[in-house]
Structure 1
Amino acid sequence: MALPAAAWPLLLLPLFSVPSWGGHIGPKSPLRYSRFLDPSNIMYLRWDFDPDAEVITFDLQVRTAGWVGLGITTYYTNVGADLVVGGVLPNGSIYFSDQHLLDDVTVEPDGSQDAHLQSLVQDSVYTTMRFSRPFRSCDPHDRDITEDTIRVIGAYGLSDQSGQVKLEAERTFVKSIFLLQVIHPDQLDSPDTSYIYDIGIKDFLIPEDDTTYACSFLPLPIVKEKHHIYKFEPRLTYHNETMVHHILVYACGNASVLPKGVNNCYGSDPAFSLCSQVIIGWAVGGTSYQFPDDVGISIGTPIDPKWVRLEIHYSNVHGLPGIYDSSGMRVFFTPILRKYDMGVLQLGVYTFPIHFLPPGATSFHSYGLCQTDTFEEVTGSPLQDLHVYGYLLHTHLTGRSLQAVQYRNGVQLRTICKDNAYDFNLQETRDLKDRVEIKLGDELLVECVYQTLDRDSMTFGGPSTMNEMCLIFLFYFPRNTISSCMGYPGLIQVAREFGEEVSDVMEGLMVMSGVDWTEENIRKAERACQEADQVVIIKTIDEMVTNRTGHIPAIAAPVRGSCVESSGGKVEAQDQIPAGFRAAPSSSGPASAGRLPAPLLPALLLLLLQGVALRLLDASPPRT
């Protein structure tokens, strides 16, 4: 139904209420990143961002003739989610509004409108909405855009007939995405000469067990001179994709005597756990990864590994029989050498049952310490400082956040990497915005935060998906032979905090298993683990192991950046078109978006001049 002529002035009034950051509306076209938000590929999202202006631009294309919505939600609930909604009414008028969810289905407009519409068009197939917003607005209803995992919520309706928006479960989707990716693959060079080599297993019968770690020792490409591996990607058997939890490739020291065949990595034959230096890692949700243009994995020289251990973690939670798998990793290598040989340093909490998590915890912090001052002593050779350019985070199902913090001379220097919204189903290698230098003598601390509200018994560190891990892999150059540097708390000291004298770790675990896990005892255990001596275990590629002790330093709380204030102001009743939607200018796109009637153009010009004059009189510099 067309709006009455008397309503048109009300539609026009808010056309020029643009945010104060409107001069920095972010990237235009093309947008570099893209992802489907739903399994049926109905909702296609493209995005890009300006890191200096701290503005992100979204372009959402949905196969619908109705309204579309895009926003940010949380791990736990969609209630309170930030949602920008827009559409085209039957008469061609556009509506667009910065909203939030009151419950799972109902939206209402924010008091401050912080999204800037660039275009909203509709044709016979798609509704497409393109808008920009600041990383962090001053509106408490808006979720921050950070380098963490972001849970993007997309929703749509089938029509705009009523002008009302109600979310429906079958048309609402949440997808975890790294929105602020530092490097896009298209920015990286592809060598003029390159080769492909597959590292994998063939027709492996996946056991019906919940968790299986299958290992096999395989040769690296045989080359007569030095080459660099510059890219890798997973090769997953299609119907088994959900069963493959992670794939790791470990470099083997050349003196190792390696077993043959495929067997349990951590079973009765300890030989299958040989080789501990990770060089390639992929986990569920990840894709391919290409190293920066100046970095690669060296192969073909006398000091390079010639064999690797391929480790595939299967999670057959439904106990399905008769499933065969031929997964693995594909590597790309080139004779065109890069400047640096890369290495991987594994940090975190040493993975075995001494790492425990109480049940029923809203949050529980675990810590793993690394001391680099003995690296040269352990390797028996002088080493250069490490330059970190990327990282991979890893916990299992109860993990909620991870971070690696660097200390020098007892003073916190920086947070190397973090994710305060970790998602088990999205584990990818990420690049750092700025490379980090680690000097020998620095301490590195990994903190993992877990939530165990859905568990009624202790969770222990271990390989099973229902066990837990706390790992961060740092990708650095130039490489050395240190493979891991990890810590764990002295459990004997932790047991003493609960009034029990124990003589060994096993007795300590028995004490902790018998604790009544009230909130007070959860906090007591957390504090005891933090204050106890940390046992630090340093391992090399040649299976040399060194133990020492240290103490967990304090972590300074991060300071949030400044927010960007919108000049949109509060949404007033007369601006609601319809049901709280803030009117927005029509696009210059397809005619189905609608144009203003010709008799209204003089009035529009007058309002435009008034808007410009008011902005000049009331101009103030944007906050940063």
Structure 2
Amino acid sequence: MEIWMSLLLACCGLTLGDRTSASSAYNELTLDPHEKFNVSWTLDQDSITFTVTCETTGWVGLGFSPSGSMVDADIIVAWVADDGDSYLLDMYATGNTLPTEDTLKDVTLISASEANGVTKVEFRRKLDTCDESGDNIITSSTTHLIYAYRTSDPENNLFSSRDYHEFTNRGTKSVYLLDSKTRSKPSLPDDIQTFDITARNFSVPAEDTIYYCDFQAPPDLDEVHHVVGFEPVITEGNEGLVHHIIMYACYGLTEELVGNYSKIGSLCTAAEMPEFSSFCNAIVMGWAVGGGTVYYPEEVGLPIGGRNGSAASYFQIEIHYDNPGLLDTFVDASGLRFFYTRTLRENELGVIPLGLIHGIAVPPGVEKFRSEAYCDESCTNQWIPEEGINVFSFFLHTHLIGRAIHVEWYRDGQNMGLLAFDDSYDFNFQEMRMMENTHKLLPGDSLKITCYYSSDTRDNVTLGGYSTLSEMCLAFLSYYPRQDLAYCTSFPGIVFPSDPVYDALNLNTSGTGGLAGLRKISNWTSELVSTLQDGIDQTFHFSKCTRENGTPYNLSSHLINPIGYPAGERVEERHCPSDMIKDHQKAAENDVEKSKPAETVEQQNKNSATFNGLCFFSVLPLAFVMLY
């Protein structure tokens, strides 16, 4: 059976214009490993209010970064002086150097206090301040929060290089600030029980990339029950080893067939896998690094138990271990914990795996390069019922050089927009994301996944594969009601040496296996990069459309022409009055006065009448050394 990455299902597809439909959704997060720096936030239409609580009597800093570093970060620093006055600075950074204070202040300080060794600061800003030179737009993509703090206030309340936060008092953490529904816990029945499916004390080999597989049965239940959620169970000390866990449902697999299987867990290779693994094709859940507990919507459940054969009789667990140190000392019992109930939900869970592993090729030293795959209408006509299916969540996945992922939705040849996306993807933060609203797919609808990579740190071509240093392009869409589907995806013609792109690149592909021949190119000029990108964009794809038992659907055509998938225009709905943009631009062009002290809350209030209520602060000499 083909190995697919553990990503989850997922959600969202919001544009800037539909950031949140829920007012005052509450969220909270601990940012540092010592649990001293905490942040909570509430959403209210086009604004977001943050509360920072930190065990310090000095200044605190919170920033919004595109990458997790100080580069292009939007930073807020605040403190409470010994006399009780409160100070807040609205700043931005262009690198790991001294940030600059914004000429126009787009942050409102609501309150600040210091008591019992704890500083607490509450402030508000708009999701889009319309300040393109100093503030980042908060969207439904991944936000990289950076934080820092110091144990003392700035001398004379003038923030300078003397106020360095110390090496251990800073860090970064990724979060979906606008996905309040992802973190919400629904009401659960009183009869919730749990069971675990984990590795059975597996001695991890001293290899860089290991895939472990095992087959285990859920509890033996006379009546059908529903799984309504799950959470990771990671062996202590192995947090950096376990990269992902994916669970396949095995339908129709009997105890008699499994009975002769004597191995307790093994490698997921053709030689090690038993024949009955062919029963286990349907991906139903998974976890990846950075993810947490997942609860399904109240109308969705995964059936287990009963005697009618409709529920999964076994699960195949697949664990990807990332062991770059080649250590042989790890023993692992990680896996997933299932929450289940006898209170049945209205619908059964299904998952659409979309994307590709083999067929990816990214040349080195390129800032932006893309790969694509399709769930074509010829396939969806086979398995989506007339009344449609309801997609409610998504999980997106690439490896280390992935930077953004888009899933587009098509109907009758028209681009319906983005079903799911993340424009600032973080490999170390992968989580199932619940959509604010479900999306109904009909028979004949199509999907396209596009993954964007940045290979500026690579010296050779990066190909698709299972190693962390190789690449993937995957999305897992969860939906209901469940249909007879294992895969709806495609693979590109460039996997074959006869693809025209190799002639265009002047490669002799004889004996090189097509993609492997790209490693012959030592000097990737811009012309060669463009030739490869054009070849990938134009090559025909071959549909992979299979049932849960692994057999393919009988399609009218297995060929997919990318021309039938026009790219949609990404319309970022913004609400920026032209006079406000001009005010920001004019302020950015003005010389900044460098000698005034920061204002107290009282002074802020005197100046808050300008620029549509956005507080206007004076500017002081800054020397903020590396928030991160």
| Class of the TM-score when normalised by the shorter of the 2 chains | 0.7 to 0.9
Query: What's the CA shift for 1:42?
Result: 2.0
SS at match of 2:243: strand
Aligned counterpart, 2:572: 560
The gaps in structure 2 that reach 5 residues or longer are 1-21, 615-628
Aligned counterpart, 1:96: 88
Does the alignment pair 1:309 with 2:277?
no
Match of 1:156 among 127, 149, 152: 149
Measure the CA separation in 2 of the matches of 1:461 and 1:365: 12
Measure the CA separation in 2 of the matches of 1:498 and 1:39: 49
Aligned counterpart, 1:434: 437
Q: What letter matches 1:237 in structure 2?
A: T
Preserved contact between residue 200 and residue 265 of structure 2 (Cα < 8 Å): no
SS at match of 2:527: helix
Alignment of 1:598-613 (within 5 A): none
| The 10-residue stretch of structure 1 (226-235 or 181-190) with the greater mean CA deviation from structure 2 | 181-190
Query: What's the CA shift for 1:220?
Result: 2.0
| The 10-residue stretch of structure 1 (158-167 or 395-404) with the greater mean CA deviation from structure 2 | 158-167
Question: Normalised by the size of structure 1, how large is the TM-score?
Answer: 0.84
| The 10-residue stretch of structure 1 (111-120 or 71-80) with the greater mean CA deviation from structure 2 | 71-80
Measure the CA separation in 1 of the matches of 2:510 and 2:531: 21
Q: Spell out, residue by residue over 1:403-429, the C-alpha distance to the aligned partner (whole angstroms, 9 max, x if none).
A: 110111111012110001111111110
Does the alignment pair 1:337 with 2:347?
no
Q: What letter matches 1:48 in structure 2?
A: T
Aligned counterpart, 2:519: 513
Aligned counterpart, 2:212: 214
Preserved contact between residue 153 and residue 174 of structure 1 (Cα < 8 Å): yes
Aligned counterpart, 2:368: 363
Query: What's the CA shift for 1:371?
Result: 1.0
The gaps in structure 1 that reach 5 residues or longer are 1-25, 587-603
Query: What's the CA shift for 1:86?
Result: 1.4
Aligned counterpart, 1:61: 53
Query: What's the CA shift for 1:454?
Result: 1.6
Relative CO higher for 1 or 2, CA cutoff 8 Å, sep ≥ 6? 2
Query: What's the CA shift for 1:503?
Result: 7.9
Alignment of 1:55-454 (within 5 A): 55-75=47-67, 77-140=69-132, 141-162=134-155, 163-166=158-161, 167-168=164-165, 169-183=167-181, 185-255=183-253, 257-258=257-258, 259=261, 260-271=263-274, 274=278, 275-300=280-305, 301-349=308-356, 351-352=357-358, 354-375=359-380, 377=382, 384-454=387-457
Measure the CA separation in 2 of the matches of 1:412 and 1:148: 21
Aligned counterpart, 1:529: 536
Query: What's the CA shift for 1:468?
Result: 1.2
Aligned counterpart, 1:39: 33
Q: What letter matches 2:159 in structure 1?
A: Q
Preserved contact between residue 573 and residue 580 of structure 1 (Cα < 8 Å): no
Q: Spell out, residue by residue over 1:224-268, the C-alpha distance to the aligned partner (whole angstroms, 9 max, x if none).
A: 222110010011101111100000000113158554421111342
Query: What's the CA shift for 1:172?
Result: 2.6
Preserved contact between residue 32 and residue 48 of structure 1 (Cα < 8 Å): yes
C-alpha spacing 1:255/1:331, structure 2 compared with 1 (3 Å): closer
Question: Normalised by the size of structure 2, how large is the TM-score?
Answer: 0.83
Measure the CA separation in 2 of the matches of 1:308 and 1:376: 28
Query: What's the CA shift for 1:149?
Result: 0.6
Measure the CA separation in 1 of the matches of 2:88 and 2:238: 42
C-alpha spacing 1:98/1:204, structure 2 compared with 1 (3 Å): same
Preserved contact between residue 119 and residue 130 of structure 1 (Cα < 8 Å): yes
Q: What letter matches 1:562 in structure 2?
A: R
C-alpha spacing 1:238/1:510, structure 2 compared with 1 (3 Å): closer
- Rg bigger for which structure? 1
| The 10-residue stretch of structure 1 (194-203 or 180-189) with the greater mean CA deviation from structure 2 | 180-189
SS at match of 1:495: helix
Alignment of 1:580-595 (within 5 A): 581-585=598-602
SS at match of 2:529: helix
Query: What's the CA shift for 1:89?
Result: 2.5
Q: Spell out, residue by residue over 1:537-581, the C-alpha distance to the aligned partner (whole angstroms, 9 max, x if none).
A: 112210113581112223223122214567997599999897563
C-alpha spacing 1:404/1:574, structure 2 compared with 1 (3 Å): closer
Match of 1:473 among 468, 471, 476: 476
Q: What letter matches 2:410 in structure 1?
A: Y
Does the alignment pair 1:550 with 2:560?
yes
Preserved contact between residue 254 and residue 306 of structure 1 (Cα < 8 Å): yes
Measure the CA separation in 1 of the matches of 2:119 and 2:595: 18
C-alpha spacing 1:572/1:522, structure 2 compared with 1 (3 Å): closer
Measure the CA separation in 2 of the matches of 1:572 and 1:385: 54
Aligned counterpart, 1:590: none
Preserved contact between residue 575 and residue 582 of structure 1 (Cα < 8 Å): no
Measure the CA separation in 1 of the matches of 2:244 and 2:238: 12
Query: What's the CA shift for 1:104?
Result: 2.0
